[in-house]
Amino acid sequence: MKVPDTPLNRLRCICGRCPTHNSCMKEKLELLFCSMGKSDCPLVKVSCLCPQCPIEMQYRLSLMYYCDFGAGD
């Protein structure tokens, strides 16, 4: 299911607390990768919080590292 980019989903998003979310992503205010798509920033996969995200649970998503792979279909 497609995740809508809404103010509520942005508030619930935990991407900013993820160990993989880096300074480049912070500077560009990148969040909600499961809706917005992958990051334009280079990244190093440290660990992934996606399985703990309330948005992922609500929309029954099953991927990880949306910042690297994008939203999917």
- Contacts of residue 72, defined as CB under 8 A and 6 or more positions apart, other chains included, come to 61, 63, 66
pLDDT band at 72 (very low <50, low <70, confident <90, very high): low
Q: Is 8 exposed, middle or buried (0-12, 13-18, 19+ CB in 10 A)?
A: exposed
pTM: 0.89
**What burial letters (b/e) apply to 38-66, b meaning 16+ CB within 10 Å?**
ebebeeeeeebbbeebebbeebebebbbb
Quick one: average pLDDT of 3-7?
95
Q: How does pLDDT run across 17-54, given as a tens digit for each residue?
A: 999 999 999 999 999 999 999 999 999 999 999 999 99
